[in-house]
Structure formats: C-alpha cells, structure tokens
A and B are shown apart, each in its own frame.
Chain A
Amino acid sequence: MLFIRPHKALIFYIFILIFLFQNSIANTDVLNKWIEKEFQPSTLNKQQQLEELIWFQKAAQPFKGMEIRVVSERIDTHWYEASVLAKAFKEITGISIIHEITGEDDVVKKINVHLKKGLNLYDMYINDSDLIGTHFRSGKVVALSDFMNKEGKDVTLPTLDIKDFMGLSFVTGPDKKIYQLPDQQFANLYWYRADWFARDDLKKRFKKIYGYELNVPVNWSAYEDIAEFFTIHVHKLDGKKIYGHMDYGKKDPSIGWRFSDAWLSMAGVGDKGLPNGLPVDEWGIRVENCRPVGASVSRGGAANSPAAVYALRKFNEWLKKYAPPEAKHMNFSQAGSVAAQGHIAQQIFWYTAFTTSMTKKGLPVVNKDGTPKWKMAPSPHGVYWEKGMKLGYQDAGSWTMLKSVPLKRRKAAWLYAQFVVSKTVSLKKTIVGLTPIRISDINSKHMSKLSKNLGGLVEFYRSKARLLWTPTGTNVPDYPLLSPAWWKTVPKVIEEGVSAQDAMNELARYLDERLLFLSKGKELKCSPLLNQAKNPSYWLNKKGSPKKRILNEKPKGITIDYQKALEIYD
C-alpha cells in the first residue's frame, strides 16, 4: 500500500467503499425480501426485524459455507422450519441447513445412540423436554445458560429475550441451569362438541338423568357421566351412531406416551409442585435430594399406589364401555383423526397440535364460516388430584446441544436454533403451526384476531391454567431407558385382561429394577439410590404421595361453563 501514489490510493479506497456499499445494499435486499414476503406478522416492527437479521448475517460470517444437520419430529411447525425458515437462513447467512423430519420416537432413539454410542449424528436436536432429567444428569449435554455466557457469547442473539419463553421451567435442571431452548409447545386438553353441549334437548335430558348441567367437566365423575350419556343414552344423533369418549389401546410405544405424558397426573397420583410433583412426580418416582429413590410404594414411590391403579382402571373401563369398538386396536396416529369425523362428543386427552387439522373447511366438525363446532378446555381431574398439582401434559420440543459436537459446528447450529425462535419469525411460525412458545406472541393483537377460529387455544395459553400443563420432569433419570415400561405393561390390562393392580405392580418393579441399574453408573450426576423396601402401609400413612385409597372414587360430577373453566385455575 505504501507504494501506491496518493491520488491512486484515494481512487482505490473509493472503489473499496463502493464495493462494500453495494454489497451491504444487496444483503439488505435479501433481508427485506424475507421480512416483506414471509416474516409478517411479527411482534417487532420492520426496522427491528431488519436489525435482528443484520445481526444474524454478521454473526454467521465465520461459518459461511458450512452445512449443519438438525433433526426434529414431524409436526407442521417443524415442516415450516425445514422448508421455509431453513431456506431463509441459508440466503441470509450462507449456512446450509439439513433439517430432517421424523417421528419423535426416532428422535429419542437417535439422541440416545449419539449419547451412548458416541456418534455425532446431528449438530443439534429438537428433542422433547421430557428428557430434561436425562440431560442434566448425563454430563454430556451443554447447559445453554452457561454456553450463552461463555463460549457461545459471540453467537448469542442480544434480542433473544429468554424470559419471554413460556416453557423455561420445563427446560431448567435442579441446578437452575437451562439445558434446552423451547422451539414449539403444545398441550393435551379436553376437547368437546360445543354445538352438542349447547343443544337444549340434550341439556334437559342430561340434567334429568344426572341431576346437574351438561357442561365442561371439572372432575372425572362428570367426564364419565357425559361419556355414558352420549354413548348409551343418546346413542344416535341425527341418525348417526355417536360416542361419548375416544382414546386408543393398541400395544405400541404410543400407548406409553398417553400414560407417561400425563394420565397419572390427571388422576392425581403425584405430589403437589410445578412443573412436576415433589418428592413424587406423575410417573410415581420419588426423589430425595435430587436422587430417585424408587417407584414402588414399598420404596416411597407411587407407580403402583391406589391412585395409579384407579387411573389405569378408569382408562380401561372408559375405552371399553364408551369409545368406538375399534379404538382399543388403534395407536396414536390411527386414533388422532377420529374426532374430526364428527361422531365423538368429547375426548379427555386431545393434543392441541391437531388444531390446524381440526379446523380445515369441509370437515364435519367445522361450520360453514370456518369456525369450529368444538372447543378445547382444561382437562377434568381424577379424585386424587389436589390444587397445586400438575393437571396435564405439555410437549415442549426444545433445542438440545451435545458436548461431543465440535464447538464450531455447535455455534453455527445455535445460530439456526435462535433464528427459528427469534421474534422476527416466531409469530408467523406460531400462526402456521399453532405451537406458541413466546409470551409476546400469544399476547399479540394478531392472536386475538385469530382466536375465534382456534377453539380456545389462545384463551388457554393466556390463562394461568397453562402453568399446570407440564412435560415429564427431572425425577426421571433416563427417559429412553425407563419409558418402555409404560407400553410394555399398560396394554396387558386392555388386551390380556390382567388386573390394573397387577399391571401397575409390574410397572413399578420394571422402574425400580432400572433405577437400580442406573444407581451403579458412576458417571451419572444425582444418580438413583434406592430406598430399602418397607411395608407399603408405612408410606401410605404418611402425608402426600403415595396416597391412601379413597373409598368413594366416584364423587358427584361437577361441570362448569366454558367461560369459567379457565378462571378456576387463576
């Protein structure tokens, strides 16, 4: 440069400036194109969106040209990420994304192979936060709260606004560190045909038989009465056979999810405490000083307690008495679309992830103006449930980073993870997939406008009731190892006529054996340490879970107006 004469140097610098200016204009064009074409609406204004995208563009410079691999389950939200947001991210940052879509079961198997066999299959996973107990104990998962403050500080979005995430408690370990970042959330709620429940003839008939109003059930007694009412008493509506209940019972991993997700919590098996009961959670596992000490009643757990047996007995009874006969041979995927066919009056356990598919025009459950004939409401609870306990499940697919992945790849993947949850794109993503993660999105004017078509989704997420719907928590020390217990034991009641008590005894034994196996692992943080087995009465006579048998397990049914159904949890 010293050898260039002054006027030539000036020309050279001007040339460089023009080049840089043109380059920045071109890049801004790409950003504006995506802001205008795709990322509307947003809780940010367009200038704020532009600033956020410029940050991504700059932070991604060292990783330009890399190909990053991530995997997630197959729901609309992730398909939108894989087909639209991944493309936008590449155009904006120059980082290519392979975003694979597969079943959640497969995602769990893959992360397990990655952890146990030491193979770097993906750079990051969108893995359900149900594995939080596995992740914080394994020592192989990066605590994102540490990463954001240390080695990942230079690639952490200043406007990420971590406190804006609704599901932060789901992804936080007992050590108060954040291990995962929520990408999408959906809950299991009560689903019912609001149009049928509003019919005067049916209301009068129900009251005459049961002595109270046909409305949203607050407890399982009312749910059972309504199920009986539609299946047995109403039987046919407008010339078509109808049913008061829908579920599934085939021996398949998905029957396990029904139970491990929330069934026992709805019955009231665990202790009070949010997001999960302490010391006993909804799997029936007792934890003392962060160490699981047993699942069977004899060790202080509740997996085979009277409340757990009641939960399984009711599940089996309702499936056989009130659901369509084919339901007991169905799995999750087969059963998912049945309510949309228009012959189901209510479903106690319905995933809000189905909202989009349940609001399609032309369906028997959708009015001509596009509004749904159905509504979702908080699920009814069993007789053992008490205020202060969780009442249902929330799936929180969350970004998970493993230590074995090289730092440079982790940083590039972290940029993509933050991009798909950034405020620039998250409201649009919420509208597409209806799996909200940010408080700012759910409280936005746009969601208010949409709410009349979403059957109560917005109202649920704006209420405090949402705090009672939570994923599997930290009491479960190894989710992939322990979760098969559910589908291997529960279907025996449905298919083989085994008693609910025997099946839950087998489940408790299965869990205890594996907790014992894990207690021998040296590398596990807060590893299990089994209590000595004692006479069950020792534990059943103590306060809290495991709870003593309640003699009247079917008290009077209670129902409530839809409007008040959310308020009772405030």
Chain B
Amino acid sequence: MFFMGIFFILLSKTFLNAQFIVINTFEVEPYVQNKKGLAIDIAKVLFERANITYSIKSSPQKRAIIRTQQTRNNSVLFIQRSQERESNFKWVGPILITQTALFSLEENDTQIDVFKDVFNYPILVARGSADEEYLKGFGLNTQVANNDFQNARKLKVKRAKFWIADTISASYHAKKVDINIKKRLTLITTLRSLAFNIHTSDKIIEHLNNILTIMYKDGTIKKILSSYEDKFESKDISRFFE
C-alpha cells in the first residue's frame, strides 16, 4: 500500500512536470510591464511551487485572450473572472485583488459621500479599461484618454476634477507625474485571475488553486505586494490581509 502511494505521488509529479504552460500577458502598468511586475512575480512563484514549467509571452490584450481561448496549454494572466467569460475558460485565482476608486487632486474639497455625488462632473478614465465599461453602465460623462499616465497629466493641469482608476495604477502614475492625489471613494473591488484554455486538465487547475490558497495563507502574496512599496501605495489592497 505504501509503495502504491509513493508510486501515485511520483506519477502525479511526473504528470505535472510534463506540463508546459504558456502564460500570455499584456501590458498593465505596474502589474505587468515588459514581462515583469507584481502580477508576473506572483505567477512565477505559483508555477515554480507547483512544479509546472512555463514561458511568458507578451501581446496586446485581445490577442492574448483569444490565443488562450483557441490554444491548448495556454493561459492569460490577470483578467477579471466575469460572468460573460466564465464558461470560456478554466480559472485559477484570484491572483490579486484590485480596487477601482475615484481620485482628485489633494486640494479638491468637493463633498463626495457616495458615487452618485460625482454624476454631474466629467470624469477621466482610461480607454478600453474595465473601468470605462463599468462607468458606461451608469451613463456617466467620461473623458477618455489612451492610458492612466495621460489621465494623471490631465488631472495635474486640471482638465477635469476627478479621475477613476485602479488604486495601484493611480498611485504609480501620480508619482510619475509628480502630483498629490486623494482617494475620494472606492467604487469596486475586482478579483483578477489566471484564465486557462478550457481543455486544460482539471488536475492542473486544482493543483494551482491549492498552491495559491497556501500563498495567501502563508503570507507570500502579501510579501510580494510589500516588495513594491517604493513604487506605489498599496495599503488599500494590503488591508484585505488584516
């Protein structure tokens, strides 16, 4: 019986080692940038602990998602596990939990208690982002720029009073353009996941999800997050671990 057990463990390890997964990524500063960044760091530890070999491939977002949908042994890093996407992939997550918030310059003293309070103001948001989609649902008056770096610059020159962005991304870009911003309101918390091609073995998915749970519980994710302290403010996210 003992030898049978050893045999099956070895067999399962061999099976996982034999797997090779392509991690498709797309640029989302500061989470993924030139195959580096916070999300990449988490994924690397996850795959290494799971004993699964991998390679990282960078491409535009749509291409990364479509390639994963169409190609076996492919995954796409850092997408929202939405109801519309649920049946198209198998899921490992959340790799990270992010928050979208409303920001203004530090000196802005407009009274904001609830989201509805800003409905009459034009709001900066990044083109093609999940945030833009979310705001569209409320029929808001948005000013769309190509990315959040441009939005930070627009806020600096007061082209608009408010900016809606991911909290880590906002902090990162605000530092880059040297402005002091103030978080006015958290709007939505998002579970970001690693989506796999639908034909991926359930064993791999279960194994990776188990390792990920351990990484949350043993403080690994928190440690990786805190290694970026000098680059951006992450206290909103760190709070989940308290």
Binding site for B on A (CB under 8 A): 69, 71, 82-84, 86-87, 90-91, 96-103, 105-106, 109-110, 113, 116-122, 251-254, 487-488
Contact = CB atoms under 8 A, between A and B. Distances in A.
A84 B117 CA distance: 10
B221 to A, nearest CB: 9
A408 B17 CA distance: 47
Contacts of B187: 100
A99 B114 CA distance: 8
A86 B113 contact: yes
Contacts of B113: 86-87, 90-91, 96
A244 to B, nearest CB: 29
A100 B97 CA distance: 15
Contacts of B189: 69, 71, 100, 110, 121-122
Interface in B217-242: 217, 239-242
Among B97, B115, B239, find the residue whose CB has the most chain A CB atoms closer than 10 A: B115
Contacts of A69: 186, 189
Contacts of B116: 82-84, 87
B153 to A, nearest CB: 28
Contacts, number: 75
A87 B114 CA distance: 6
B83 interface: yes
Interface residues of B, number: 27
Given A82-B115, A110-B189, A117 B86 contact: no
A109 B114 contact: no
Contact of A120 (B81, B84, B242): B242
B94 A252 contact: no
A98 B240 contact: no
B47 interface: no
B108 interface: no
Contact of A117 (B117, B185, B216, B242): B216
27 contacts: A69-B186, A82-B114, A83-B115, A84-B114, A87-B114, A91-B113, A96-B113, A98-B185, A98-B186, A99-B114, A102-B188, A103-B82, A103-B83, A105-B83, A105-B86, A110-B191, A113-B97, A119-B240, A120-B242, A121-B97, A121-B189, A251-B87, A252-B84, A252-B87, A253-B83, A253-B87, A488-B87
Given A71-B189, A83-B116, A119-B216, A113 B94 contact: yes
A100 B188 contact: yes
Contacts of A122: 189
A113 B217 CA distance: 12
A341 to B, nearest CB: 21
A517 to B, nearest CB: 10
Contacts of B82: 103, 106
Interface string B59-93: 00000000000000000000001111011000000
B191 A100 contact: no
A82 B117 CA distance: 11
B212 to A, nearest CB: 8
B97 A109 contact: no
A121 B217 CA distance: 14
| 4 closest Cβ pairs, A-B complex | A83-B116, A105-B83, A119-B240, A117-B216
A380 to B, nearest CB: 29
A95 B91 CA distance: 37
A253 B186 contact: no
A83 B114 contact: yes
B131 to A, nearest CB: 13
B240 A100 contact: no
Nearest to B137: A74
A88 to B, nearest CB: 9
A109 B81 CA distance: 9
B191 A109 contact: yes
Given A96-B113, A252-B83, A116 B188 contact: no
Contacts of A488: 87
